[in-house]
Amino acid sequence: MSEPRFAVGDRVRTRTVDPPHHTRLPRYARGQVGEVVEVQGRWPLADDRAQGFPDARVEPVYTIRFSATDLWGPPGGHWVQVELWESYLEVVP
Amino acid sequence: MSGHHSSSEIAVRVRRLEERLIGAGLTSDDQLDTIIGRVSSGSPANGARAVARAWVDPAFRERLLADGNEALEELGFSMSRGPQPQRFTVVENTPSRHNVLVCTLCSCYPISLLGPSPSWYKSEAYRARVVREPRAVLAEFGLELPADSEIVVHDTSAESRHMVLPMRPEGTAGLGEAELAALVTREGLIGTAAV
């Protein structure tokens, strides 16, 4: 099984997907840049499980911290932490 | 199931759904009873016990914050009795940092530690607003936070479940563990109230 692609402190961007099936990437957190604050472990990908795939992909899940200003614009002033599977995330160049 | 609502529309629908699922071989009476037993054995009193222990025992507090699942086993609780084991983390409130929990996608909640979730936790208003304007939402719950305190909203979107470790109230130095546990409210464990 491959090592987690991201580490604590990495900046990542969430995908801008709009899949026709269940996903656990909340809409408000799509296409956003955040920071990895924890590598939680590995779980079967919720999207695959919801579609009844017998061999759901097992992926690292990360806690990603977003600034409220990035998500919602000013005035911000808080953080939102969202827990996301690895395939929801892209490298920020 | 409570007998009081056995003829209500929702009870009839649930019964039909159960019959269809059991008929299709997707679940069984025993399996459903196990799940219902697990849900109904959960109570905020469980979370309160963990909090009170953390307040009186600094070494337990360290273990609880470092590995929630292992620390819970010390108290006889487990997050591994569901369909798949859940990771359990405890987030600590401090004078400068306040944590609050939500599940924006549905209603994920640490049932074995906190019992069934309150209806407002599942409401679209709470789920939509607390990630966007937590300070205003908390004020509506009666919790006014200092303007310079940092707020962290935890959206329970994957396989972890969380509990807030509230700050120990002033003036409780003489209280024992059971008395302290009695002070801890469900809202305190979710982060919509202080204790």
CATH code, domain with B107 = 3.90.330.10
For A87, phi then psi, to 5°, come to -75, -5
Residues in chain B with CB shorter than 8 Å from the CB of A79 are 150-153
Q: Which residue has the higher pLDDT, B13 or B4?
A: B13
**Contact (CB<8Å) A77/B135:** yes
pTM: 0.90
Same domain? For B97 and B126 the reply is yes
- pLDDT value for B35: 79
Active site residue B6: no
Q: Tell me how far the alpha carbon of residue A77 is from its chain's centroid.
A: 21
Which residue of B lies nearest to A43 if distances are taken between CA atoms? B159
Q: Does A84 touch chain B (CB under 8 A)?
A: yes
Q: In this structure, which amino acid lies at residue B173?
A: A
Domains, chain A, in order of start with CATH, read 11-91 (2.30.30.50)
* ipTM, interface predicted TM-score of the complex: 0.97
Q: Which of B6, B106, B123, B157 is catalytic?
A: B106
Same domain? For B53 and B143 the reply is yes
Same domain? For B36 and B115 the reply is no
Same domain? For B136 and B100 the reply is yes
Q: Is the pLDDT of residue B3 over 60?
A: no
Number of structural domains found in chain B:
2
Which of A36-50, B5-19, B107-121, B166-180 is least confident? B5-19
Cβ burial of A29 (10 Å; 0-12, 13-18, 19+) is buried
Same domain? For B27 and B70 the reply is no
- B108, B159, B162: best mutation site toward chain A, by most A Cβ within 10 Å? B159
Residues in chain A with CB shorter than 8 Å from the CB of B151 are 77-79
The pair of structure tokens assigned to A13 is: 């961007």
- pLDDT value for B1: 42
Within a domain: residue B65?
yes
Within a domain: residue B195?
no
**Contact (CB<8Å) B151/A77:** yes
Within a domain: residue B173?
yes
Same domain? For B63 and B21 the reply is no
The pair of structure tokens assigned to A36 is: 């990895």
- pLDDT value for B6: 63
SS3 A93: coil
The band of B2, judged by pLDDT with boundaries at 50, 70 and 90, is very low
Active site residue B103: yes
- pLDDT value for B32: 87
Give the model confidence (pLDDT) of B149-178 as tens digits: 999 999 999 999 999 999 999 999 999 999
Same domain? For B26 and B81 the reply is no
- A80, A84, A87: best mutation site toward chain B, by most B Cβ within 10 Å? A80
Give the model confidence (pLDDT) of A9-37 as tens digits: 999 999 998 999 999 999 999 999 999 99
Place of tokens 């108290």: B75
> Which of B99, B106, B120 lies closest to B188, judged by CA?
B99
- pLDDT value for B5: 57
Same domain? For B62 and B123 the reply is yes
Shortest distance between the Cα of A78 and any Cα of chain B, in A, equals 5
Same domain? For B125 and B61 the reply is yes
Residues in chain A with CB shorter than 8 Å from the CB of B132 are 68, 71-72
Q: What is the span of the domain harbouring residue B22? A: 3-40
Same domain? For B26 and B115 the reply is no
Give the model confidence (pLDDT) of A32-81 as tens digits: 999 999 999 999 999 999 999 999 999 999 999 999 999 999 989 999 99
Contact B173, B44 (CB under 8 A): no
Same domain? For B19 and B115 the reply is no
The band of B39, judged by pLDDT with boundaries at 50, 70 and 90, is confident
Residues in chain A with CB shorter than 8 Å from the CB of B103 are none
> If you average pLDDT over every residue of chain B, what do you get?
92
Within a domain: residue B128?
yes
> Which of A49, A46, A51, A48 lies closest to A84, judged by CA?
A46
Which residue of A lies nearest to B151 if distances are taken between CA atoms? A78
Active site residue B112: no
Q: Is the pLDDT of residue B131 over 90?
A: yes
Q: What is the mean pLDDT of residues B55-80?
A: 94
Contact A80, A66 (CB under 8 A): yes
- pLDDT value for B80: 79
The pair of structure tokens assigned to B32 is: 């459903």
**DSSP, res B18:** H
Which residue of A lies nearest to B157 if distances are taken between CA atoms? A83
Percent of chain B with pLDDT over 70: 96
Nearest-by-Cβ selection for A81 from B84, B152, B159: B152
Shortest distance between the Cα of A80 and any Cα of chain B, in A, equals 5
Same domain? For B181 and B137 the reply is yes
Q: What is the mean pLDDT of residues B73-98?
A: 89
The pair of structure tokens assigned to A85 is: 């599977």
The band of B42, judged by pLDDT with boundaries at 50, 70 and 90, is confident
Q: Does A88 touch chain B (CB under 8 A)?
A: no
